[in-house]
Structure 1
Amino acid sequence: MSQPEFDVIAIGNAIVDVMAPCSDALVEELGMVRGGMTLIDTERAHSLYDAMGPAREISGGSAANTLAGLAALGAKCAFIGQVADDQLGEVFAHDIRAGGISFGTAPRAGDPPTARCLIFVTPDGQRTMNTFLGASQYLPAAALDEAAIRAASVLYLEGYLWDPEEPRAAMRRAIAAAKDAGRKVAFTLSDAFVIERHGADFRAMIETGEIDILFANHVELAALTGHDDFDKGLAELAPKVPVLVVTRSEKGAVAVTGGERFEVPAEPIDQVVDTTGAGDLFAAGFLFGHVRGWKVADCLTTGAICAAEIISHYGARPEADLKALVAARIG
């Protein structure tokens, strides 16, 4: 097997996050599912944007956020995702490249426009996301850089992008390319609603050994296994995946590999400002340690450090020096 050119290459939604603080009353008034992620159409996107207070635009998308964290830690990364040939598409491309991430997917001409996620953040830091997928759901298999996929230690896929047909086919092709090259495939389940729609696919992929590293939170674990009891869900799923990583919000995180369970508490933090991207950055920290062959406990701790940094401010991209934060704990 050749020496990898990239630590991680990811395929995901190319989204620009539009974030604004709001009251709990506004969430209720607008009929949103508090703390959830809802797919919306163009009309709903316009109406919610009109109801938002002063907002910040930050390039986002689950897998892209993970890569931003990995790159900030010093990993070499590449991203595959579809934007439109418009202003937000330019914003996304500029931001991800400025973060040191290779991004060569050609923009798509015409409608629909570049994806955006309207995020309402309540005073307790909880985020309610409303996603217009736009151009991101039209990523064709022809847009894949298979040479880059074969040249990455890990192919990382986000469950959110499994929903539309075209990128789902592209990701299946990417998995085959990675496996053929002897590389690892990491997958994040993303949200319970994704599991409701595609759980059969995910379970089949797990059974056939297509997923080497699976990321989930405790809600997604329950949705995938059918067990509300955390330990029962973990016991059922862990033997089927080489590395299973499950986050539990303020209860920390658990990883199971080789029949051994590892657990870390959540990192202490003065104030939770915004939970957007916490799981994405946890995955970044864990994968950073994993591709370097660190102990599982250190991978988990690095994930917890990155997640704590991201929830201490608005936005899903790191603002503090992640390298320094991790070095102070891991060395």
Structure 2
Amino acid sequence: MTSLICGSLAFDTIMSFDGRFSEAILADQLHKINVAFLVPAMRREFGGCAGNIAYNLKLLGGDPLIMATIGIDGDPYLERLAGQDISARCIRRVADAYTAQAFITTDADSNQITAFHPGAMTFSHQNRIADAGAVRLAIIAPDGRDGMLEHARQCADARLPFIFDPGQGLPMFDGAALRDFIDLASYVAVNDYEGELLTERTGLSFAQIADRVTALVVTRGENGAHIYAGGEQLEIPPVQVTQVVDPTGCGDAFRAGMLYGLSQDMDWPTIGRLSSLMGAIKIEHQGGQNHAPSRDEIEARFEAAFGYRF
């Protein structure tokens, strides 16, 4: 069943800083920061939340449909999607803008500093949910501000259940707007930092947010995740990784697991475990879309981690 993925397509320039940001930024000098980080390693990757989610959903055997915008430099991304048999029919090209660009620096503790140029993403509101046709489920991932607002309303009007995934776009919205998103959504997915910011801005506790949706999912990095559903709080264990290489795109991989699990009517413990596994597989590789396990390999690793097959 097709899952509609509303979010960004971007080119990621990813750099590695061998030291720690905390050692280069003085706490008592935050009002006048002027720092430079030597980054011996740099690469350019295909990224953006919608692209990363779609890539991981395809690995699972799902049917992703991306709704996004690209700029005048977007042909390489379209060629990549075609090679992966991921539909681009709901991707709009903006003629006078560049595709969104993220510049990400990761330190030795996996902390990240990101500069982001939205480019064509600013025009995401020109896309219409109705143009997607028959889909079962959607996700509103970080995108242009107006696009996120419009697509949430359009999903609700079409009675299309969706995951609200504010991600790094959360600071764009005040408490009233975030409460509206929650009331329109069927599911909310945040990491622990975003979750704290969400409760602070809305004035709602996790329990209160969970009462307004079918499920609230809070990822906790190496500590797994919490899922609040049906009046219960489920503890989702982490999956042991062989090595931590790059956290870029781990949250997107997790959300792809959610989309697949929901589309297959799995129970929440299984959805959470599959999502956790996808994040673990991703973190063992550089970039958001360079891991390439087969479906059989994913199933085998799930069984090894949890003792049953999904």
TM norm structure 2: 0.84
Shift of 1:122: 2.1
| 1:122 aligns to 2:107 (yes or no) | yes
The residue type paired with residue 220 of structure 2 is R
The residue type paired with residue 235 of structure 2 is E
| 1:23 aligns to 2:18 (yes or no) | yes
| 1:76 aligns to 2:63 (yes or no) | yes
Task: Tell me, in whole angstroms, the C-alpha distance in 2 between the residues paired with 1:176 and 1:185.
Answer: 11
Task: Tell me, in whole angstroms, the C-alpha distance in 1 between the residues paired with 2:174 and 2:138.
Answer: 20
| 1:218 aligns to 2:192 (yes or no) | yes
Q: 1:294 to 1:326 in 2, by over 3 A?
A: farther
2:306 corresponds to: none
Gaps of 5+ in 2: 28-35, 304-308
Task: Tell me, in whole angstroms, the C-alpha distance in 2 between the residues paired with 1:318 and 1:65.
Answer: 10
| 1:306 aligns to 2:289 (yes or no) | no
Gaps of 5+ in 1: 34-47
2:51 corresponds to: 64
2:83 corresponds to: 98
TM norm structure 1: 0.79
Task: Tell me, in whole angstroms, the C-alpha distance in 2 between the residues paired with 1:256 and 1:27.
Answer: 33
Task: Tell me, in whole angstroms, the C-alpha distance in 1 between the residues paired with 2:92 and 2:210.
Answer: 38
Q: 1:298 to 1:32 in 2, by over 3 A?
A: farther
Q: What is the alpha-carbon root mean square deviation over aligned residues?
A: 2.8
- Secondary structure, aligned partner of 2:70: coil
- Secondary structure, aligned partner of 1:94: helix
Question: Which of 249, 253, 258 is the matching residue for 1:277?
Answer: 249
What are the within-5 Å matches in structure 2 for residues 137-176 of structure 1? 137-141=122-126, 143-144=127-128, 146-148=130-132, 150-158=133-141, 160-163=142-145, 168=146, 170-176=147-153
Q: 1:32 to 1:298 in 2, by over 3 A?
A: farther
Paired residue total: 293
Task: Tell me, in whole angstroms, the C-alpha distance in 2 between the residues paired with 1:324 and 1:296.
Answer: 22
2:5 corresponds to: 10
Shift of 1:71: 1.0
Question: Which of 156, 180, 197 is the matching residue for 1:204?
Answer: 180
Q: Is the 8 A contact 1:178 1:184 kept in 2?
A: yes
More off after superposition, 314-323 vs 68-77 = 314-323
Question: Which of 226, 236, 240 is the matching residue for 2:212?
Answer: 240
Shift of 1:318: 4.9
Query: How much identity, in percent, do the aligned residues show?
Result: 24
Task: Tell me, in whole angstroms, the C-alpha distance in 1 between the residues paired with 2:235 and 2:23.
Answer: 36
